[in-house]
Structure 1
Amino acid sequence: MIDAIVIDKTDDTQTVDLTQIDPATLPERDVTIDVAWSTLNYKDALAITGSAPVVRKFPMVPGIDFAGVVRDSSHPDYKAGDKVILNGWGVGEVHWGGLAKQARVKGDWLVPLPDGLTMRQAMEIGTAGYTAMLCVQALEAQGVTPDSGPVAVTGAAGGVGSVATLLLAQRGYHVAAVTGRASEADFLKQLGAVEIIDREELSGKPRPLGKERFAGGVDVAGSTVLANLLSMTRYGGTVAACGLAAGMDLPASVAPFILRGVTLAGIDSVMCPAPKRRAAWQALAAELDLAKLGGLSVEVALSDVIATAPKFLTGDIRGRVVVPVAPDLG
């Protein structure tokens, strides 16, 4: 028997428990992994609390991220003993995820652990950090450089935002960190933010066009925040959008797009093709400041995950949350 967090639903009542399951009940896939480290993300928090219909199949083991060691495999690319990472692919939503001692998944969903990263460090990065890298790469692909001007990062103290702030600062960008928590100013400056912007500045009713303020942005909020950010983006700038913490709507006009040539780049980390995700992970391993990365993370035991999840929804989580499922594995 193995420890696992299991979400179930009967009629309209959802239950979440840390329990034990028989490994034989794991889904039929071609690679079985002993999970060493997992994480707790905003999406996991929505699933565990039942605050949004993230889980589409019950019962479900949540956990959209994990790193671990291959136990057995019939996939040609992996063998027993290989260290691997998984992010996305509907794991924790329609496929059992990483908040359990074992997981069984498709080998095509896996990424080999890059040289230079431990499994813990890979989860300190997690889907949040990997998504942040996809955002940074999207800005650069659209020609946004450090010389272009300030780049705004919304939700800067959160998982994606904190890693995006760190990555952009390391690459020489002027990072304008947007947060609703003034108490996080020192933390964000330590990551490399040059200026701190109160979220309220991007929370009012959006104008079709605002003052040209940012060369680009990384947005995790959506809704009014994203609409305001677009209206304040300079001519030819790009905003990479990857989240919906403030809502799924977008009360914007077409003005930034047709009058300033602004690009809205949508970032999907869940179904991102394997070559692109492997390139993002290789870039993270090569350039991320691992000392600062460690300062972004806190550990939460598997037994404390359920109690911690609601804190994501109240904005009481800073940076990354890693879960040592079986840390002795490496």
Structure 2
Amino acid sequence: KVILNGWGVGETHYGAYAGRARVKGDWLVPLPDGMSPHDAMAVGTAGYTAMLAVMALERHGIVPDRGPVVVTGAAGGVGSVAISILSTLGYHVIASTGRNAESPYLIDLGAAEVISREELSQPAKPLAKERWAGGIDSVGTHTLANVLSMTSYGGAIAACGLAGGMDLPTSVAPFILRGVSLLGIDSVMAPKPVRLEAWRRIATDLDLKKLSTLSRSIGFDGIIDAARDIIDGKIRGRVVVDM
């Protein structure tokens, strides 16, 4: 049993929802022991990207003792898995969401605090009060600019998405006055050794009970409606297509 995500499948290569697909063997990674195919797809590209972001923060020395970490777009696929992993690893997680009704869900996943997206959505100051040691951002634009301006000295933010926009209206102040680092996360073309390590870590550091909480299944005929709901911001966590 193997996992395939990224490499342009469903974008430049046919087969995203195929029952069978002919692909390059180098694109495949083995399904970790103790994880079912359904589990793997509940993690999916979003959860795998979240793990890549966690690993990047760890490489930069952002460990739980450094202080809180923020996760933006918290109720989405990346955010939901990131919160679960980070909390399991012992981090104090601050979840940022535009859907206040999802606060109980985020706390159940392991968030210690939930803040409104509005706190981060306005144009950012060059520097603001230090609030966290690190974070994972899937939103971009003003949200990422604010997150950077509020990162403590020597901290780091892993950027992996653009749900709010592709622009980044910030200044050099966080980088040259606080030594903050912006860590870019790409999941699509990540080399195989990195993928293998990410999936190994997912198998050990992601609570499968939380995974079942943050995912749901739909039939093949539900794909189009689910896609519309994702665009409209109505989906929380992950959706698995039962083939």
Relative to the length of structure 1, the TM-score reads 0.73
Unmatched 5+ residue regions in structure 1?
A: 1-82, 326-330
8 Å CA contact 2:89–2:205 kept in 1: the answer is no
Which structure carries more helix by proportion? 2
Q: Partner residue of 1:285?
A: 203
Count of residue pairs brought into register by the alignment: 243
Residue 103 of structure 1 deviates from its aligned partner by: 1.1
Root-mean-square deviation (Å): 0.7
Q: Partner residue of 2:2?
A: 84
Q: Partner residue of 2:131?
A: 213
Paired residue secondary structure (1:87)? coil
Q: Partner residue of 1:120?
A: 38
Which structure carries more strand by proportion? 1
Q: Partner residue of 1:153?
A: 71
Among residues 28, 32, 43, which one is paired with 1:110 in the alignment? 28
Paired residue secondary structure (1:309)? helix
Among residues 207, 219, 224, which one is paired with 1:301 in the alignment? 219
Taking the TM superposition and a 5 Å limit, the aligned residue runs for 1:56-205 are: 83-205=1-123
Taking the aligned partners of 1:168 and 1:97, their CA distance within structure 2 comes to 32
Paired residue secondary structure (2:135)? strand
Report the AA paired with residue 149 of structure 1: G
Taking the aligned partners of 2:118 and 2:70, their CA distance within structure 1 comes to 14
Range with greater deviation from structure 2 (92-101 or 153-162): 92-101
Residue 307 of structure 1 deviates from its aligned partner by: 1.7
Deviations 1:146-178 (A, max 9, x none): 111110000111100000000000011000000
Taking the aligned partners of 2:10 and 2:16, their CA distance within structure 1 comes to 7
Deviations 1:78-135 (A, max 9, x none): xxxxx11001001111001331211111001011111110000000111111100000
Residue 144 of structure 1 deviates from its aligned partner by: 0.6
Deviations 1:8-39 (A, max 9, x none): xxxxxxxxxxxxxxxxxxxxxxxxxxxxxxxx
Deviations 1:49-98 (A, max 9, x none): xxxxxxxxxxxxxxxxxxxxxxxxxxxxxxxxxx1100100111100133
Deviations 1:200-248 (A, max 9, x none): 0000111111111110010000111000000000000000000000000
Taking the aligned partners of 1:299 and 1:186, their CA distance within structure 2 comes to 21
Percent of paired sites with the same residue: 63
Taking the aligned partners of 1:217 and 1:228, their CA distance within structure 2 comes to 12
Taking the aligned partners of 1:278 and 1:295, their CA distance within structure 2 comes to 25
Residue 313 of structure 1 deviates from its aligned partner by: 1.3
Taking the aligned partners of 1:280 and 1:98, their CA distance within structure 2 comes to 21
Relative to the length of structure 2, the TM-score reads 0.99
Structure with the greater relative contact order (CA < 8 A, sep ≥ 6): 1 or 2? Answer: 2
Residue 314 of structure 1 deviates from its aligned partner by: 1.3
Unmatched 5+ residue regions in structure 2?
A: none
Paired residue secondary structure (2:210)? helix
Paired residue secondary structure (2:111)? coil
Taking the aligned partners of 1:98 and 1:117, their CA distance within structure 2 comes to 21
Q: Partner residue of 1:222?
A: 140
Taking the aligned partners of 2:148 and 2:134, their CA distance within structure 1 comes to 9
